[in-house]
């Protein structure tokens, strides 16, 4: 799957470049070719970044500077990025109202990667229309749980844990045209665990959507913040 995701956009870009080189092309068609090649370049870059990130996370042993992160602000920004990336109307991805802005201690870049992967996954597996709801809740005053629920293809119960494995993709889905490397949810769970949390999945079954829950330690006191700063990667 990863090899396919790397080779396909390269082959597509090469085909359009050869066409432009060999024969005259009307300006309108030339602009269409440029758009397709740019989209293929974005797809290739996204795949390379996922592979590199997976390797980076797997080899991380050094302590890195962690900061307090406003999860609502980060999630709001990631939703805006996802809407633009997939050309979706604003009501396609909704963040339910929150009374407080929970903070966590962590690496902003990694948590941003996790949230974008969750949102992209929800969009990708909603072929009949994107209706994604995001919610934040405080659990037992020490944890914050982010749930991202879609109305897409859903999951059978025996796949709830498997989908977080590196390179794993659910077999037998009637969605062969959906592109992916099987790294997105692996990155989500790895990042969550390196921040002292976890990622889990639930679904009511095929065609009934899925919910992915990202749970992280809540930064509520200076003592907790000091402890989270010293967390070792899992």
Instruction: Output the pLDDT for position 176.
Output: 52
On the question of pLDDT at 60 being above 70, the answer is no
Instruction: Output the pLDDT for position 174.
Output: 52
SS3 6: helix
Per-residue DSSP letter, 191? H
Contacts of 137 (CB under 8 A, 6+ apart): 144, 145, 147
Q: What is d(CA 47, CA 45) in angstroms, rounded to the nearest whole number? A: 5
Q: What is d(CA 96, CA 134) in angstroms, rounded to the nearest whole number? A: 6
Instruction: Output the pLDDT for position 217.
Output: 95
Query: Which of 46 and 68 is assigned the larger pLDDT?
Result: 68
Q: Shortest CA distance to 118 belongs to which of 88, 94, 148, 142? A: 148
Percentage of the chain lying above the pLDDT 70 cut: 85
Q: Which of 61-70, 129-138, 189-198 has the lowest mean pLDDT?
A: 61-70
Query: Which of 223 and 156 is assigned the larger pLDDT?
Result: 156
Q: Shortest CA distance to 123 belongs to which of 87, 168, 177, 174? A: 87
Query: Which of 12 and 231 is assigned the larger pLDDT?
Result: 12
Cβ burial of 21 (10 Å; 0-12, 13-18, 19+) is exposed
Query: Which of 131 and 1 is assigned the larger pLDDT?
Result: 131
Compute the Cα dihedral for 44, 45, 46, 52 and give only its sign. Answer: positive
Instruction: Output the pLDDT for position 58.
Output: 60
- Residue 113's CB: how many other CB atoms inside 10 A? 21
Going by pLDDT thresholds of 50, 70 and 90, the confidence category of residue 229 is very low
Instruction: Output the pLDDT for position 74.
Output: 95
On the question of pLDDT at 128 being above 90, the answer is no
**Phi and psi angles of residue 100, each rounded to the nearest 5 degrees, phi first:** -130, 160
Rounded mean pLDDT, 213-234: 60
Q: What is d(CA 77, CA 93) in angstroms, rounded to the nearest whole number? A: 12
Query: Which of 82 and 85 is assigned the larger pLDDT?
Result: 82
On the question of pLDDT at 232 being above 60, the answer is no
What 3 state SS string does 131-173 have?
Answer: CEEEEEEEECCCEEEEEEECCCCCCCHHHCCHHHCCCCCCCCC
Taking only the tens place, the pLDDT of each residue in 182-218 is 788 999 999 999 899 999 999 988 888 999 999 999 9
On the question of pLDDT at 228 being above 60, the answer is no
Going by pLDDT thresholds of 50, 70 and 90, the confidence category of residue 111 is very high
CB of 81 closer than 8 Å to CB of 120: no
């Amino acid at each position: 799957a990863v090899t396919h995701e790397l080779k396909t956009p390269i082959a597509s870009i090469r085909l359009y470049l050869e066409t432009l080189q060999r024969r005259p092309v009307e300006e309108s068609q030339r602009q269409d070719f440029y758009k397709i090649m740019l989209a293929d370049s974005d797809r290739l870059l996204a795949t390379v970044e996922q592979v590199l990130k997976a390797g980076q996370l797997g080899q991380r042993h050094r302590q890195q500077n962690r900061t307090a992160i406003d999860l609502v602000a980060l999630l709001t920004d990631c939703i805006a990025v996802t809407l633009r990336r997939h050309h979706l109307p604003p009501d396609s991805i909704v963040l339910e109202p929150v009374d407080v802005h929970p903070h966590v201690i962590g690496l902003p870049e990694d948590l941003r990667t996790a949230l974008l992967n969750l949102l992209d996954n929800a969009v990708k597996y909603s072929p009949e229309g994107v209706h994604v709801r995001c919610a934040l809740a405080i659990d037992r005053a020490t944890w914050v749980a982010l749930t991202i629920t879609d109305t897409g293809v859903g999951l059978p119960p025996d796949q709830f844990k498997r989908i977080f494995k590196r390179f794993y993709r659910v077999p037998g889905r009637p969605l062969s045209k959906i592109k992916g490397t099987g790294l997105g949810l692996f990155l989500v769970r790895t990042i969550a665990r390196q921040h002292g949390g976890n990622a889990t999945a639930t679904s009511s079954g095929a065609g009934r959507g899925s919910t992915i829950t990202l749970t992280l330690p809540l930064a509520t006191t200076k003592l907790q913040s000091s402890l989270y700063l010293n967390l070792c990667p899992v």
